[in-house]
A and B are shown apart, each in its own frame.
Chain A
Amino acid sequence: MRPPFKPALIVLALASALARAADDDDALDLKTADPAPAAATQAATGPRLTLELAALQARGQAGQGSDSGHRAAVDLRWAGKLTEQWRFGLSNRLDDMHPVLPGQRSTRHHLREAYLGWQSGGGQRSVDAGRINQRHGPAYSYNPTDFFRRGATRSVVTADPIALRENRTGTFMLRGSQLWDGGGASLAWAPQLTRSGRENSTFSLDLDGTNGTDRLVLTVNAKASDRWSGEALWMVEEGRSPRLGLNLTGLVSDAAVVHAEWSMARSARLVDTALGGVAPRTRHHQATMGLTYSLPSGLSVTAEAAYNGAGLNRADWQQLFAQGQAPVGALFSAAQADQELAARRAWMLYATQKGVLLKQLDVTAFVRQNAVDHSHIAWAELRYHWPRFDLALQWQRGSGKAGTEYGALPYRQVVQLVGSAYF
């Protein structure tokens, strides 16, 4: 049988090839207006300064009014080499927020990092001393193996758990590390530097949060294969039980990565601590498991389930809210500063898409649910990039009945416009 329309198919194929060749010609004619690469490289060395301005509109819970506010921040990061073997790091941030909660300062300085480091010629051995932001754990929403997270987040300017990490304060420590092919180990000693309570001055070092006790943390990393690697951690802390932790990540396909964290220690339940009564220590497990799937379009979606054995179950939430606002506020405040999971169980869906409609427009969104009281928070951001300036529109909404974690947020909905200039 003679194939129908053969001449037409040939013409179509030829036309398609011609169009493709013409497209190739267009592409090959493109010229860049960028400076010479060497000049560009030189321009990027030195300190990095970010100025941030934000305005927000917040709608209170049912029956309450609306609020507006604004904030400004100056953020400096500088890491470099003094000699071939000596290096330094400096990172600080000055926040000015209006309004603030009663008892809080509107202007706060945060010294995130200030350290001096030495490394051997090949880089395999290193010693660092000073305030260091040592972070562990691959999970997005809750990091049970991030042993230095307690008391380290005092500047909360977003609900996005990833962006919030940028404001995390380091811990004063002395740290030694050794690397080998496929793994490494480090030992960090973080001394107690204060015995006073909560510091609340503008230029406070927040030592009560980061260096309130003596701690020794040992970490060992190993790579099982190109696709799987893990980390074991052990912490000894003055006045607390030793804590053990494990985390791992794995590549399960060209598009999917899984991660998991687990830690265990004898500790007090959060509800007992918040209520201020007797807080017996029992063995509690904390864990997070997640999967990130990426599509060729640039969309990445992460689903994560988290568990905190010391967190609040349904009866605990009811008991807490029955005691009034003070213990509720104390629990939320501590959970935020410690980046602790208040609920016994929670889950999160987190998605990012680069280049939505426009090349420079990114979208990030997440939903986080308290799986015990079924309240949830949704957050979304549209972010447009210019070469040295970002403009972001953020929307946040908490949903839940009265007496639930997200139903008790002071604002039901917050809309924020943030401009960031990079120097």
Chain B
Amino acid sequence: MPDLSARPGPGRLQPTRRRAGQALLALGAAAAWPAALQAAPDAQALLAQSDAIRNPSQPFKVTVPLSEFEKGVQVNTTTLLSLARTLEAGGQFASLVRFVQPVRDAGKVMLKNGSDLWFYDPGTKSAVRISPQQRLMGQAANGDVVTVNFARDYQATVAAEETVRDGEKQTRKSYKLMLTASGNDATYGSIELWVDASSSAPIKARFFAESGRLLKTAFYRKFQSQLGADRPTETVIIDGLDPQAVTLVRLSDYGARNVPTSWFQRDYLPRFSAE
């Protein structure tokens, strides 16, 4: 393979050719990793381990800035404060999400507790039940900003052992898991999830509607030590229909925060401040 970057040439074309070369390498690598791991791993256990890396097991708070890009240009910014905890019934996370920015939306609150999804606007004093499909903030889906344990809502099988390029453009040995919705609370029809072969850390995911249409691709990256484990602090979400529509979700200022379970209901929303 020639070193494209070392050759003089038209500067504007060079990055495109380099990307095409990298993509070819990645495709080749993906196909070339033989069955190096002999024992068939437990897919559901891998999924649960991956969940435990994405999400702290204890109740926590986190700041979530979302940056939306259109054709490479940043067009929208939203900052959220999220409180999440698992509830005794079912073990799934419940989330309370407060809008911080933009200023026009500051103070608005979203609650997700299973299929119980509410949106509260302090301006109109209205708590409105919303459907999982209803959008509150531009391109980002409600499911992109709340904490979800996939293992609870999806049944996993190991589809392949692959070498895959991660969000830092490095190649990683991985298990490709096929997740199919196993309950009514599942947001997506199915998910392809690549997890690191040795650590089970999430690398990449492709989310599909029940019809089989690709909804989005997500890369988990910038792993940092947060609340006792190395966790992804950035997710790059690429729209399935329009790859030029990209949302960068950052997770920062993790902290332990134990709040009562009674907060995760409609009546508490007017009083929720997240401070």
Q: Which residues of A contact B (CB under 8 A)?
A: 14, 17-18, 20-28, 30, 32-34, 36-38, 40-41, 43-44, 48, 50, 77, 79-81, 87, 117, 119, 122-124, 126, 133-135, 138, 162-163, 165-166, 168, 177, 179-184, 186, 221, 223, 226-227, 229, 249-251, 253-257, 259, 292, 294-296, 298, 300, 354-355, 359-360, 385, 387-388, 390, 420, 422-423
Contact = CB atoms under 8 A, between A and B. Distances in A.
Nearest to B113: A226
Given A23-B238, A44-B101, A359 B63 contact: no
6 contacts: A22-B19, A28-B221, A34-B74, A79-B122, A126-B271, A294-B130
B217 interface: yes
Nearest to A120: B260
Contacts of A354: 135, 138
Contacts of B77: 32, 34, 387
A25 B21 CA distance: 11
A165 B126 contact: yes
B248 A30 contact: yes
Contacts of B103: 44, 48, 387-388, 422-423
A355 B215 CA distance: 17
B175 to A, nearest CB: 20
Nearest to A40: B79
B159 interface: no
Interface in B120-141: 122-135, 138-139
B268 to A, nearest CB: 6
Contacts of A34: 65, 67, 74, 77
Contact of B260 (A123, A257, A300, A360): A123
Contacts of A227: 115-116
Contacts, number: 232
A26 B248 CA distance: 12
B266 interface: yes
A33 B74 contact: yes
Interface stretch (B23-31, B40-48, B145-153): B23-31
Contacts of B271: 87, 117, 119, 123, 126
Question: Which applies to chain A's interface (DSSP): helix, strand, loop or mixed?
Answer: mixed
B102 A422 contact: yes
Contacts of B260: 122-124
A20 B243 contact: yes
Contact of B24 (A18, A226, A251): A18
Nearest to A170: B125
Contacts of B273: 79-81, 87
B87 to A, nearest CB: 9
Contacts of B106: 44, 48
Contact of A123 (B124, B244, B263): B263
B22 interface: yes
Contacts of A168: 124-125
Contact of A359 (B68, B72, B124, B133): B68
A130 to B, nearest CB: 14
